Structure 1
């Protein structure tokens, strides 16, 4: 289940208007994810990702790398250390 939630968050952030050059805050990333899920639903977010990978695979790969990095940072900031 966690993997599914992470995948949906990644797809939603991918189709959002946020750009890496904006250096969005954790809150901006969370809001973008929520807004895209509410706007497009899980199927719409997945379809948007698929379209971009089909139309512009080189750009889509770079964007997905940024998405994965941004999500990792959000998770790191939200999960307390176990040490």
Structure 2
């Protein structure tokens, strides 16, 4: 179950407009994930990832590495951010 949630969060962040160059805050990452899940749902996020890997695999690999790094930082920080 936890892996499914992590996978969905990764897909949602991947399809978001956030860019590594923005050095987004933890709150921005969490909000982007939530927004994309609400906007596209789990199937839509997965489809967006699949499309990018099919169309631009070299760029998609770099973006997914960034996504995984961002998610690891969010997870290691513990409880949800205070608003």
* TM-score, with length taken from structure 2: 0.94
1:4-54 CA-partner distances (Å, limit 9, x unpaired): 000000000000000000000000000000000000000000000000000
Where do 4+ consecutive residues of structure 1 move more than 6 Å? none
Question: Rg: which structure is higher?
Answer: 1
Aligned residues: 79
> Where do 5+ consecutive residues of structure 2 fail to align?
none
Could you state the TM-score of these two structures normalised by the residue count of structure 1?
Answer: 0.94
Aligned-CA RMSD value = 0.6
Gaps of 5+ in 1: none
Cα separation, 1, equivalents of 2:49 and 2:66: 14
